[in-house]
Amino acid sequence: MNGHICGTGAYAPKNILDNQKLSQIVDTSDAWIQERTGIVSRHLVLEEDTVTMATQAAKKAIEMAGISAEEIDLIVLATCSAKRLLPCSACEVQKEIGAIHATCFDLNAACTGFLYAYNTAQAYLQSNLYKTILVIGAETLSRQVDYKDRSTCILFGDGAGAVLVKAKEQGMFSMISHSEGEKGEVLTCEQGDYIKMNGQEVFKFAVRNVPNVILEVLQKNKMKPDEIDYFILHQANKRIVEAVAKRLQVDIGKFPMNVKDYGNTSSASIPILLDEWNRKKKLKPGMKIIMAGFGAGLSWGATLIEW
């Protein structure tokens, strides 16, 4: 038994902060941000929060899957920016959507959170404990960013993405994931404080480890990079995605990107991109897709699925 994605949804706040406006707040420029990151604008919450955005994304995924919220057995919500510590955001989403039979919990693995949450859902499905699982990535990182620190505030945006996963006899799921707590100090956020990051170290970590973990999961399945239809990477920086494509010697066209419009939405970036590609009808049944995440922890991983 494997999980199969049968619904996707996403939500981004209407409020947009573009590079021009940002350069009036902090000493930066549109040209610098675009050249170093590929980001042009990002969505930032006004009235929304992690739970309200997650709820909107979840409702769209449930609608696409054509199921009732009461059928959901489990909700796993990946976030590192919940407004409230208790109750967990997954329980708050449960209340909003009426998923009365679901067991709910949050998972924090920073920008790798969605990937680990998806893997967790698959483990429950493979062990036949649950049949219908909602996996969400939702972040309000604008609340954790210092808009006086140009090295971080240009990067992050808010949003949520969700996938509805149902048990299926066939289908493909294979994962490799890693964590390295020893290097954790390069990207931190203390309670009540702002995100602090050594950008160059995180950049180097990503361009070295993401291609390696993708090759690991391919090797595990005796596959070659050119057998993969799309690589859905965590959207942190256009240059990171380009470096990964180059290392794998795969055409950049197989690496969808939307970092330009969203910035880095941490655990929400992969499901937001999946939903965009799905709604554009780019994802066809049987396609092989690798999702890859990386971020604070340090943590990273690659997951191979069949659409």
- C-alpha–C-alpha distance, residues 183 and 186, integer Å: 6
Of the listed pieces 79-87, 129-137, 146-154, 158-166, which binds ligand UT7 according to CB under 6 A? 146-154
Using rule CB under 6 A, residue 264 touches ligand UT7? yes
CA end-to-end distance (rounded Å), the chain: 15
234 is catalytic: yes
Q: State the binding string over 236-255 for ligand UT7 (x if CB under 6 A, else -).
A: xx------------------
Using rule CB under 6 A, residue 154 touches ligand UT7? yes
Of the listed pieces 70-78, 88-96, 98-106, 148-156, which binds ligand UT7 according to CB under 6 A? 148-156
264 is catalytic: yes
Using rule CB under 6 A, residue 295 touches ligand UT7? yes
Which one of the listed residues 104, 111, 153, 189 is annotated catalytic?
111
Residue pair 266/80 in contact (Cβ under 8 Å)? The answer is yes
Q: Tell me which of 1, 6, 16, 36 binds ligand UT7, using CB under 6 A.
A: 36
Using rule CB under 6 A, residue 184 touches ligand UT7? no
Closest CB to ligand UT7 among residues 61, 154: 154
Q: Tell me which of 87, 171, 184, 199 binds ligand UT7, using CB under 6 A.
A: 199
Q: Tell me which of 206, 213, 259, 305 binds ligand UT7, using CB under 6 A.
A: 206
Which one of the listed residues 91, 209, 234, 278 is annotated catalytic?
234
User: Which residues inside 37-96 make contact with ligand UT7, applying CB under 6 A?
Assistant: 37
3-class SS string, the chain: CEEEEEEEEEECCCCEEEHHHHHHHCCCCHHHHHHHHCCCEEECCCCCCHHHHHHHHHHHHHHHHCCCHHHCCEEEEECCCCCCCCCCHHHHHHHHHCCCCCEEEEECCHHHHHHHHHHHHHHHHHCCCCCEEEEEEEEEHHHHCCCCCHHHHCCECEEEEEEEEEEECCCCEEEEEEECHHHHHHEEECCCCCEEECHHHHHHHHHHHHHHHHHHHHHHCCCCHHHCCEEEECCCCHHHHHHHHHHHCCCHHHCCCCHHHHCECHHHHHHHHHHHHHHCCCCCCCCEEEEEEEECCCEEEEEEEEC
Of the listed pieces 30-38, 91-99, 135-143, 163-171, which binds ligand UT7 according to CB under 6 A? 30-38
Using rule CB under 6 A, residue 28 touches ligand UT7? yes
CB of 150 to ligand UT7, least distance (A): 4
Active site residues: 111, 234, 264
Report the interface residues with ligand UT7, using CB under 6 A.
Answer: 28, 32, 36-37, 111, 150-151, 154, 199-200, 202-203, 206, 236-237, 264, 295
